[in-house]
Structure 1
Amino acid sequence: MQYRKLGTSGMYVSAIALGNWATHGETVEQDLATECVRKALDLGITTFDTADAYAGTKAESMLGEALKGVRREGVEIMTKAFFPTGPGKNDRGLSRKHVMESINGSLRRLQMDYVDVYQAHRYDYETPLEETMGAFADIVHAGKAHYIGVSEWTVEEIRAGAALAAELGIRLVSSQPQYNMLWRVIEPEVVPVCEELGITQVCWSPLAQGVLSGKYGASKAPAGSRFSDEDGGLKTVHRFMQPEVLERVEKLKPIAQDLGVPLATLAVAWVLANPNVSAAIVGASRPEQLDDTVKAAELVLGPETLELIDDALGDVVERDPAKVESFPERV
């Protein structure tokens, strides 16, 4: 495993992080979740990413249970707040009320005294940024989190958040965007500003929700997979599940074969090739799935390989910086 600094902080994270979105509490129950976490630890993964809203708060509880008995100082735990955790109007967003209640709920479910990075899961346009950052600062100063991070914030939001954090004596060290071979919207604006501010990326969906594993054909999907319909055909509502995209992904397979690695390994290694990336978050519903993705931490892609990837994907790559995901209202 490779370990990288998170932003300009002094903390290291594993280049591969295990996330439990859409797995723990949804498709994976506790015994299997614990197996996946223990497998990750055996492979050198020390960084774990979750959120209070995942699986209706169950994901945090399952991660906490899976890590019972593990030396707390030997792992880095990242969680998030913004999305609904209950039916009330204040059970969402980044108001002081919700943020302060959310960190306490997260710590209780994780069975921990602190998290290493507490993240704003999205930007809250209904709450003054000063209120949100003030609450985050109080959480850090109370010892309930070491650092703060954001997820899917625009350049302007990141810059304003980092400035307020500095004024309040805390560190905004990470940005958590979607980033993969097909989705590169952070490259034109977010990455340069983060480099300037000493912030690094912890990227979700390096496999484009499984598309870059190569398991989806141009017209069919494996039974039981995320984008399979009842007849085994493709659910084409997702932007990655279009025939022209899948045809281009097929052109990546020979590149991976020439390197002697699975396509999933190549895809994660591509994300890690960006020097502003500290970690790629991978998921696992079975422990053995981690074997291929962990290999990416040691796979160095040269300029020729990167050019071959760009040529193979062509114009299906999304690069528009305006498509950084955000929500104008709380959901």
Structure 2
Amino acid sequence: MEFRRLGRSGLNISEISYGNWLTHGSQVEEDQATACVRAALDAGITTFDTADVYANTAAESVLGRALAGQRRASYELLTKVYWPTGPGGPNDRGLGRKHIMESIDGSLERLQTDYVDLYQAHRYDHTVPLEETMLAFADIVRQGKALYIGVSEWTAEQITRGAALARELNVPLISHQPQYSMLWRVIEPQVVPVCEREGISQIVFSPIAQGILTGKYLPGAELPEGSRAADERGSKMIARWMRDDVLNAVQNLKPIAEEAGLTLAQLAVAWVLQNPNVASAIIGASRPEQVVENVKAVGVKLDAELLKKIDSVLEGLVTDDPRLTAQG
């Protein structure tokens, strides 16, 4: 495993993070989820990403039990707040002070820890003054319940405003968690330049485009049993890419992956890690062997000629409109 500094901070995180969106507490039985976490630890992954909304808080509980007994200082724990949790009361969502302060306590209890290393605003809340949100986050840091703060799927303008307020409160904003892959590059035109200026790193999710970039979906073929595209919820998330032109292009990436000595999935993860503003790529897994495979992308250097070949194959299929932030 290799490690990168998160933003303009002293926190090191693993180049590959393990995330449990759509798996723990829902799609994967707990024994299998625990096996995946153990595989991540064995592979040298020290960074674990979750959120209170995943499986309506169950994912945090599963991860807390899976990490029980590990030396707390040996791993970094990331969680998030914003989306509705619990019974859906009027203060059970968003970035108001009440929801934030109550949510961090619930997350810590479920994760069986006294603190998280990074607490993130899962989306931007247009209904709450940003000053209220940032002050609540700063108070959580000062209470020792979180060491650092970050955001997820914010626009460049929102990040700029949030970073300025965080500086005033002496609790710097150090991370942004967006969707990012060969096919989905909406952060490149505006978000990445702003984050470079503000000392903020990306911790990216869906680097293999929710399975599309593994090459397992073939044009005109039946969907693989148990795949995300065959799942009712998952199929809605990847519908935009389940087109013959995209699927054919992905198949055309195989020779490029082979040239680099990688599988398609490894190439996809390695590709996002070529961006110097990316500190870590989050992978999910339903089987331990998926963790073992994806970790092989660590430390891979893709030369400029190979990157040009990738762009040539995907020409006309890449989404890079910054207006689509938070719509991934």
TM bin, normalised by shorter chain, reads: over 0.9
Equivalent residue runs for 1:63-212 within 5 Å: 63-86=63-86, 87-212=88-213
Tell me what 1:305 maps to.
306
Residue deviations 1:40-82 (CA, integer Å, cap 9, x gap): 0110100000000000100000000000000000100000000
Tell me what 2:261 maps to.
260
Residue deviations 1:230-251 (CA, integer Å, cap 9, x gap): 9xxx879721212211111111
| SS of aligned partner of 2:257 | helix
- Does 216-225 or 200-209 show the bigger shift? 216-225
4+ residue runs over 6 A deviation? 234-237
C-alpha distance in 1 between matches for 2:188 and 2:135 = 29
Query: Relative to 1, partners in 2 of residues 1:229 and 1:196: Cα closer, same or farther, differing over 3 Å?
Result: closer
C-alpha distance in 1 between matches for 2:119 and 2:16 = 18
Establish whether residue 37 from structure 1 lines up as the match of residue 37 from structure 2: yes
Structure 1, unaligned stretches of length 5 or more? Answer: none
CA drift at 1:299: 1.2
Tell me what 2:18 maps to.
18
Query: Relative to 1, partners in 2 of residues 1:300 and 1:237: Cα closer, same or farther, differing over 3 Å?
Result: closer
C-alpha contact (below 8 Å) 2:273/2:279 kept by paired residues: yes
Residue deviations 1:155-194 (CA, integer Å, cap 9, x gap): 1100000010111110210000000000001000000000
User: Match of 1:75, as an amino acid?
Assistant: Y
C-alpha contact (below 8 Å) 1:235/1:241 kept by paired residues: no
Query: Relative to 1, partners in 2 of residues 1:31 and 1:229: Cα closer, same or farther, differing over 3 Å?
Result: closer
C-alpha distance in 1 between matches for 2:126 and 2:62 = 31
C-alpha contact (below 8 Å) 2:203/2:282 kept by paired residues: yes
C-alpha distance in 1 between matches for 2:45 and 2:148 = 20
Tell me what 2:228 maps to.
226
C-alpha contact (below 8 Å) 2:217/2:247 kept by paired residues: yes
C-alpha distance in 2 between matches for 1:70 and 1:262 = 31
Establish whether residue 52 from structure 1 lines up as the match of residue 52 from structure 2: yes
C-alpha distance in 2 between matches for 1:236 and 1:95 = 28
C-alpha contact (below 8 Å) 1:122/1:326 kept by paired residues: no
CA drift at 1:24: 0.2
| SS of aligned partner of 1:227 | helix
CA drift at 1:297: 0.8
**TM-score calculated relative to the size of structure 2:** 0.96
C-alpha contact (below 8 Å) 2:260/2:302 kept by paired residues: no
C-alpha distance in 2 between matches for 1:219 and 1:282 = 27
- Does 221-230 or 112-121 show the bigger shift? 221-230
Query: Relative to 1, partners in 2 of residues 1:273 and 1:236: Cα closer, same or farther, differing over 3 Å?
Result: closer
Structure 2, unaligned stretches of length 5 or more? Answer: none
C-alpha distance in 2 between matches for 1:65 and 1:191 = 35
User: Match of 1:190, as an amino acid?
Assistant: V
User: Match of 2:269, as an amino acid?
Assistant: V
Query: Relative to 1, partners in 2 of residues 1:126 and 1:245: Cα closer, same or farther, differing over 3 Å?
Result: same
C-alpha distance in 1 between matches for 2:69 and 2:191 = 38
Residue deviations 1:22-43 (CA, integer Å, cap 9, x gap): 0001111221111111110110
C-alpha distance in 1 between matches for 2:23 and 2:236 = 20
C-alpha contact (below 8 Å) 2:246/2:317 kept by paired residues: yes
Residue deviations 1:253-288 (CA, integer Å, cap 9, x gap): 111112221100000000000000000000011101
C-alpha contact (below 8 Å) 2:210/2:238 kept by paired residues: no
- Does 25-34 or 159-168 show the bigger shift? 25-34
